[in-house]
Structure formats: structure tokens, C-alpha cells
Amino acid sequence: MASPQIDHGYTRIANEILDQTMKRKFNGTQLSLLMAIWRNTYGFQRKEHEMSIRFLAEAIGAHRNQVDRELTNLVERHVIIVVSTGKRGSRVLRFNKNHEEWIDCHLNSGLSAKTVTELSPRKVTEHTANPRTKKERIKKRNKETRPTKKYDEDSTYYKMASYFHDKVRAVAKAEGLGHLIIKANLQSWADQMRLLVENDEVEKRLARDVMDWVVTDSFWKTNILSAKKLRDKFPELALKMKATGKQGSGRQNNQMSQNEKLMREIEEEMAREQSGAEEAFSYHQQLLPELPNGRR
């Protein structure tokens, strides 16, 4: 008969953490992951520890894909913090006991628990705060899921994708996470940039500033490793950037890098478009007949 005793070991955890955990909308796998992380940090009188996906999967008896998916959700919601990359190449994880920073996904009418788990916090907010008709939702979904178009290397969106990819690749390599973007598809990244600008109506200059900033932020640089994640989190990232009053320092070096050349070309293209519009307006003004009072 099992007879657990605290003399054989126990995990000290504040009651406030347990109270907040019970109130939040975590699914079964997420709760198991939280307990596994508590066990291997607080249970050994430490705040953080290197834990691989395989280790956590064995600890809670779940498939690695499922663990990877739900752990990513906890990281995105600021419940778990990725501190760094450990000596064995896995992530060093820490539980964020400041529950006021957690991003919660509240269940609402029309949203199942599975739906809340799969949606990012940004998408849940959009769904609950700005409900659409079924026809509008289908139209928006079809627009975003249409086959990815082919982008030339000289196109603006491809240049934006290449610019961000090079920055992310440098961060991933430095953090030992290069394997996560080794198969990055720049065509897909370019399409996400198009959606960011055309669908989300984000200005290109703001997009560039956020790209520069996110790869320097201690928390986000290891959590935004793709163009899709950048787009999904863009509103939150832009607010964080403005709140900290910082922007990326990638252009402080006097010697222009290849990435900076790409963004300079994008800016010049935008300037040419504006100049062309002004010249066309001036030309049409000249064609108008002059009125007696000197006006056209």
C-alpha cells in the first residue's frame, strides 16, 4: 500500500499560486506540465531548470507533440518563462509566479475549451470583442487561407521576410535554437508580411521598428521565431515596444548591412510611390483651363 510521507520529500508552493491556478482556464496537459515544472524547480529548492520536451513528455506520460504544443501555449501566455538555452541544448524553464502577468483565455459562449486552447490570446480577444457574422468570418478565413502566391525576390514583402529571417536566424543561432528555423519557407514568411500590411493595415515603418525591437527583447527574442508568430503577436509587441520606449538597434552601425540595404530599398520604393502620385496630381492641374480669377 502506498504511504507517501513528507519525510521522503515535498514541494513547497505558495497557496496564492494554487488559488490562481485553479481559477485559470488550463487544460489537463497544461496543468500536468505546470506540476512537472514545479516538481523539478520548487521541489529541488530552485527557481529554474533545463527541461527538454522528451523529459516533460515522460514525466507526464504524454506525446511529445502534445507537450510541445501546450508548453508553447503556456509560454505565450507568460505562465512559463524561457530563461535561456541550457548546456544540453534544451530550454531552461521558469514558472512565472507573478500571476498578474498571465494572459488568460476565458471561456465564452460559442467557444469550446478546445477552441480556447488552440486560439492565440489575440484571436480569442478578436472573437469575443468584435463578433462577426458567419458569412464575414468565412470570407476572412478564405482570404487568409488562400494558396500562397509566388513572391519575387525583388518584391517588398519578400524583402521584409528576408530582413526579419536574417535577424531571427542570428538570434536563434546565438541561443542554440537554430534547428527551429532551419526549414523556414521565405515564401510563407513573405505572405505573412503581406497579410500584416494589407489585412492588418500595419505601416511598413512600424513593422520594421517592431522587427528590430523584438530580436533585442530578453523575453520575446526566443519566442518570436517566425513571421506568423510576429503577425499573431504584433499588437502586443507594438504596445510593449512603445511602453519600454525602445526600438531595435540594428541600424546604429555606420556600415550598412545587407539587411539594412533591403529595408532601405523598401523605403525608397515607398518614397517613389508617393512622389509619383504628387507628379500625377501636378500634371493634371496643368491641364485644367485657367479661370478668370487666376484659379484652375
| Cell numbers linked to 18 | 494554487
Q: What is the tens place of the pLDDT at every residue in 166-197?
A: 999 888 888 887 777 777 888 889 999 999 99
| Cell numbers linked to 241 | 515596444
* pLDDT surpassing 60 at residue 257: no
Q: What is the pLDDT of residue 244?
A: 82
Q: How many CB atoms lie within 10 A of CB 89?
A: 11
User: Helical H runs in the chain?
Assistant: 15-23, 28-41, 53-60, 64-76, 113-118, 121-129, 134-144, 156-174, 186-194, 204-214, 227-232, 234-244, 258-287
Q: What is the pLDDT of residue 140?
A: 62
SS3 100: helix
Q: What is the tens place of the pLDDT at every residue in 30-87?
A: 999 999 999 999 999 999 999 999 999 999 999 999 999 999 999 999 999 999 988 8
* pLDDT surpassing 90 at residue 260: no
Average pLDDT over residues 19-40: 93
Nearest to 215 by CA among 242, 186, 246: 246
The CA–CA distances, whole Å, from 272 to 1, 155, 269 equal 80, 14, 5
Q: Supply the mean pLDDT for the chain.
A: 79
Buried b (16+ CB within 10 A) or exposed e, 183-222: ebebeebbbbbbbbbeeeebebeebbbbbbbbbbbeebbb
* pLDDT surpassing 90 at residue 104: no
* pLDDT surpassing 80 at residue 261: no
Q: What is the pLDDT of residue 14?
A: 92
| Cell numbers linked to 224 | 518570436
Domains, the chain, with CATH or none: 10-101 (1.10.10.10), 143-249+256-267 (no CATH)
Of 138-147, 224-233, 262-271, which has the strongest mean pLDDT?
224-233
Nearest to 229 by CA among 181, 272, 292: 181
